Amino acid sequence: MFGEIIQNLRKSHGMNQVVLAQKLGVTKQAVSNWENNNILPSIDMLIKISRFFSVSCDYLLEIDHRSFIEVSGLTIEELSHIQQVINDIKK
């Protein structure tokens, strides 16, 4: 569910609800409500969340289970290393 996805993303970035709320310009209560599946964010906020965590809106809404990593600015060698890590994890 949406709440679990937001909570997992937040925790994987080492943030508590207060910090995430500050980064997104919302209240801690809003983040708590999302994580508890009490409410969903607006479309504009959904886009902001997806950009903040570098994931697609489809991923947040469980339409697409792939996540995306922002890799612009990385060298070919760095991209190759990331691809190797991904391949190792998939094994």
Which amino acid makes up residue 62?
A: E
Instruction: Report yes or no: 46 and 57 within 8 Å, Cβ to Cβ.
Output: yes
Count structural domains, the chain.
1
**pLDDT over 90 (residue 90):** no
Which amino acid makes up residue 36?
A: N
| pLDDT for residue 65 | 62
Predicted TM-score of the model (pTM): 0.70
Instruction: In whole angstroms, give the CA distance from residue 34 to residue 30.
Output: 6
How many residues does the structure list for the chain?
A: 91
Instruction: Report yes or no: 41 and 49 within 8 Å, Cβ to Cβ.
Output: yes
Q: State the CATH number of the domain containing residue 51.
A: 1.10.260.40
**Residue 21 domain boundaries:** 2-90
| pLDDT for residue 64 | 66
| pLDDT for residue 66 | 63
